[in-house]
Amino acid sequence: MKEKKIIETRSKQEEDLGFKILGYLRRITRAINLNSKRLATENNLTSPQTFSLITIYHMGPLTLAEVASKVHLSPSTMVGIIDRLEVKNLVIRERSKDDKRQVRIRITEEGKKIAKKSPLPLQEELLESLSKLPEIQQKNLSKALKLLASILDTNHSSDKSLSADESCED
Amino acid sequence: MKEKKIIETRSKQEEDLGFKILGYLRRITRAINLNSKRLATENNLTSPQTFSLITIYHMGPLTLAEVASKVHLSPSTMVGIIDRLEVKNLVIRERSKDDKRQVRIRITEEGKKIAKKSPLPLQEELLESLSKLPEIQQKNLSKALKLLASILDTNHSSDKSLSADESCED
DNA sequence: TACAAATGATTCGTGTACGAATGAATATAT
DNA sequence: ATATATTCATTCGTACACGAATCATTTGTA
Averaged pLDDT in 10-residue chunks for chain A of 170 residues: 38 55 75 76 86 93 96 96 97 94 97 85 64 75 76 48 34
Tell me, what's the pLDDT at A79? 98
Q: Which residue has the higher pLDDT, B169 or B61?
A: B61
pLDDT at B127 (0 to 100): 64
Residue where a domain stops, chosen among A121, A143, A163: A121
- Which has the closest alpha carbon to A108: A57, A67, A63? A57
On chain A, the residues whose CB falls within 8 A of the CB of B51 are 22, 26
Is the CB of A161 less than 8 angstroms away from the CB of B29? no
Per-residue model confidence (pLDDT) at position A145: 78
**Beta partners for residue A94, in sequence order:** A104
Confidence at B131, pLDDT banded by 50, 70, 90 = confident
Helices B135-153, A12-43: axis angle to 10 degrees equals 30
In which domain, by residue range, is A136 found? 122-153
Q: What is the pLDDT of residues B107-130, one digit of tens each?
A: 999 999 999 887 665 556 666 677
Please check whether residue A79 lies inside any domain of the structure. yes
Do A17 and B133 touch, CB atoms closer than 8 A? no
More confident residue, A70 or B156: A70
Report the distance from CA of residue A1 to the C1' of nucleotide D18 in Å, as an integer: 41
pLDDT of residue A126: 67
Strand C-proximal residues, CB under 7 Å?
A 36, 40, 46-49, 72-74, 76-77, 80-81, 84, 98-101; B 29-30, 33-34, 37, 63-66, 75-76, 79, 82, 93, 99, 101-103
pTM, 2 dp: 0.78
CA of B98 to C1' of D24 (A): 14
Q: Which of A80, A101, A121 is the last residue of a domain?
A: A121
Which pLDDT score is estimated for B153? 58
Based on the structure, what is the number of domains in chain A?
Answer: 2
